[in-house]
Amino acid sequence: MNTSPRSAARPSTARATSTALSQEQTAGYATDDPFLWLEDIEGQGALAWVRAENEKTLGVLQSDPRYRHFYEQALSILQAKDRIAYVSLERRGLENFWQDENQVRGVWRRTTLESYRSQDPDWETILDVDALAVAEKRNWVFQGASCLPPEERLCLISLSDGGKDAASIREFDRDAKTFVADGFYLPEGKQHVSWVDDDTLLVARDWGEGTLTQAGYPLS
């Protein structure tokens, strides 16, 4: 699959064939299941059922006299200004993904060790997910980044619209703090991707019949 002028490798034909045979062997199970229609996880009927069940569950929770106390306590903890900003040591400094009442979707940011040791670290924004969501009119949820070693400048950013498992993947320049023009792009899907080199990716996603589980996840 060509995701850009560069290439992404496909799973092996042998594995896909083996998967297809495995699916044929399990086909026909539970054909009398009255809830089989829920297997169409993106179907309007299944989604309507989920929304109704969620509303029912929320009603039960909110009717409990303990609900409001626990909800406000959890929200206060999540939005506390004195939370420790846990960081990872990267080539370009200490990095952190931060969310609060102002950065609901979150901001990927970095600082220096010296600044991190201070009472009020000076953070440099790498990617503001809230601003990106506004600009692109999408409900983006950041699902992480995989950066190409050893420089770790080019990264594959996973963004989910609304927080579902399916995400789109885009190439991002961590130094320029912008998405790479004509870089790698994989449209929304339940998928896994790994770098081979700066021109090649290994991609597990929907490559056609026999390459996904019944739940829509890649088999390889």
- Per-residue pLDDT reduced to its tens digit, 81-113: 888 999 999 988 999 999 998 999 999 999 999
Question: Band of the pLDDT at 213, cuts 50, 70, 90?
Answer: confident
Q: What is the DSSP letter of 39?
A: G
Per-residue pLDDT at 28: 52
Provide the pLDDT for residue 219: 86
Give the per-residue pLDDT at 97: 97
Distance of CA 214 to the CA centre of its chain: 20
Do residues 92 and 109 make contact, with C-beta atoms less than 8 angstroms apart? no
**Is it the case that residue 12 has pLDDT exceeding 90?**
no
The per-residue pLDDT for 115 is 97
Amino acid identity at 132: L
pLDDT of residue 8: 57
The H or E element containing residue 151 is none
In this prediction, residues 8-25 reach a mean pLDDT of: 44
Q: State the Cα–Cα distance between residues 106 and 31, nearest whole angstrom.
A: 44
Measured distance between the N- and C-terminal CA atoms of the chain, rounded to whole angstroms: 16
Question: What percent of the chain is predicted at pLDDT more than 90?
Answer: 68
| pLDDT for residue 218 is more than 80 | yes
3-state SS of 53-68 is HHHHHHHHHHHCCCHH
Sign for the CA dihedral angle at 164, 168, 171, 176 comes to: negative
In this structure, what token pair is assigned to residue 54? 């969620």
**Which token pair is 8?**
């992404």
Query: Which band of pLDDT confidence, cut at 50, 70 and 90, is reported for residue 78?
Result: confident
- In residues, how long is the chain? 220
Average pLDDT for the chain: 87
- Is the preceding peptide bond at 150 cis, omega within 30 degrees of 0? yes
Residue from 118, 78, 115 nearest 98 by CA? 78
Mean pLDDT, residues 161-177 taken together: 95
Residue 20 above 70 pLDDT?
no
Tens digit of each residue's pLDDT (9 = 90 or more) over 29-61: 556 889 899 888 779 999 999 999 999 999 999
